[in-house]
Amino acid sequence: MYRVLAKKQSVVVEEMLYSLSNLDAYEWVWIDLSSSTKEEAAELFHYYRFHPLAVEDCLDAINQRPKVDFFDEYMFLVIYALKENYLMEELDIFVNERFIITYHQKAIMEIDEVWKNAINNPAETPIDILHKLIDKVVDEYFPKAYDIEERLNALEENADLLSIKELINHLYDLRMIIFRIRRVILPMNDLLYRITHTEKMTLISEKQYYFNDVYDHLLKLREMIEGYRDFSADLRDNYMSVSSNNMNETIMALTIITTIFMPLSFIAGLYGMNFSFMPMAEWRNGFWYVMIVMGISAILMVIFFMAKGWLFRTRVHKRHRDNE
C-alpha cells in the first residue's frame, strides 16, 4: 500500500495513483509506503537510484539500529516509533530537497498527523516534513516515559501490599521495557547529533535550530530513561535485600524451633530405651517429673532466645516514603 503527497504550482495535492514518469513534474513529493511489497518498493528505490546498501537495510534487515547515512544527493535514516504496549515500529526515510520517502510495515500514527498537516501547508519542504516526523516520534516517547515513572513509584510505595515475589516480577517487566526504550534512544540521540552537526546537506543547516530542539528533547528523554534504569536497579536491590532478610528470618525461626526441641528429643529418646534397669524407671510419678524437666528446659531456651532478640521480629512487607 502506498500514498502520495505532491506539491505543484504552490498547491499540495494527495495523489491516489502515481507514475514514476511523472514524479519529476512536481516541486517535491512525499511517498509513504506502508505494508508494501518488496517488489513495489524496490521499483521506486531503483528509480531514485538509492544505494544498494541503503535499500538492503530498508527491505531486508530486521531490527536495524537507528542511524543516519549521508549520500551524495540524499540521506537515509532509520528511526523507531513507540507504539502501544511499548512496542517499536521501524521507520525508514529517504529525503532530499525534492522528495521524502517513508517506508514502514505497520501503521504509524505520527505519520498520519504530519501527513494531514502537510496537506494544509504548501510552504513546507521535505526537510520540514522530516523535522516534524522526528519531532512527533520523539514527543510520543514522553507519555510512555512518564507512565514508567508512575509505575516505578507505585512499586516503591507498594500500596497494594504485594508480596516480594510479585513486586520483583513487576519490576523485571518494567526493566525490560526500560532497556528496550534505551536501546533505541541512545542511537537516536547520536543520530540527531550527526544531523545537527553535518555539513553534507545545506538544507539541514538551514533548519538546524529546529533539529537542535528535537535533540534537546532526546537528551531530556535519555536522562529520564537513565534515571529510571538506576531507580529500578535500586528498587531491585532493596527488594532482594528484603527478600533475603525475610528468608533469614524464616530460617532463624526454624532453627530456633529445632534447637528448642533438641534437648526434649534427647530426654524423650533417652527414656524411651527399653532397658530393665534405668533411673526413675520404677517411679510412680516419673513421667510427670520428666515432663516438668522438659517444659522447664523449653521455657528457659525460649527466654534465652527472647533475651538475645531472636524471637518475635517484625518482617518488612512495605516500603514507606516520607511525604515531601
113 near 136, Cβ under 8 Å?
yes
Rounded Cα distance, 289 and 109, in Å: 85
State the Cα torsion 81-107-54-73 to the nearest 10°: -90
- DSSP state, 285? T
Cα angle 286-291-295, degrees, rounded to a multiple of 5 = 150
Does the pLDDT of residue 77 top 90, yes or no? yes
φ, ψ dihedrals at 188, nearest 5°: -65, -35
Return the C-alpha cell found at 48.
Answer: 531514485
Q: Give SS3 for 283.
A: coil
Share of the chain above pLDDT 90, in %: 27
| pLDDT(45) > 80 | yes
Tell me: the pLDDT tens digits for 95-106? 988 899 999 988
Q: Is 29 helix (H, G, I), strand (E, B) or coil?
A: strand
Q: b or e along 174-206 (b: 16 or more beta carbons within 10 Å of the residue's beta carbon)?
A: bbebbeebbebbbbbbebbbbbbebeebeebee
- The tally of CA atoms less than 13 A away on the side-chain side of residue 136 is 17
pLDDT tens-digit profile of 240-254? 887 787 788 788 888
At residue 316, does pLDDT exceed 50? no
pLDDT digits (tens, 9 = 90+) for 260-284: 888 888 878 877 776 666 776 677 7
Nine-digit cell string for 235: 528498587
Q: Is residue 144 over pLDDT 50?
A: yes
Q: Which three cell numbers stand for residue 84?
A: 502501544
| Alpha helices, DSSP H, located in 197-274 | 202-206, 208-270
pLDDT band at 319 (very low <50, low <70, confident <90, very high): very low
pLDDT of amino acid 320: 44
Listed in order, strand segments (DSSP E) in the chain are 2-8, 11-15, 28-34, 67-70, 75-82, 88-95, 99-104
The per-residue pLDDT for range 152-175, each reduced to its tens digit, is 998 888 877 777 788 888 889 999
Predicted confidence band at 19 (pLDDT cuts at 50, 70, 90)? low
Each residue's pLDDT tens digit, 107-128: 899 999 999 888 888 888 899 9
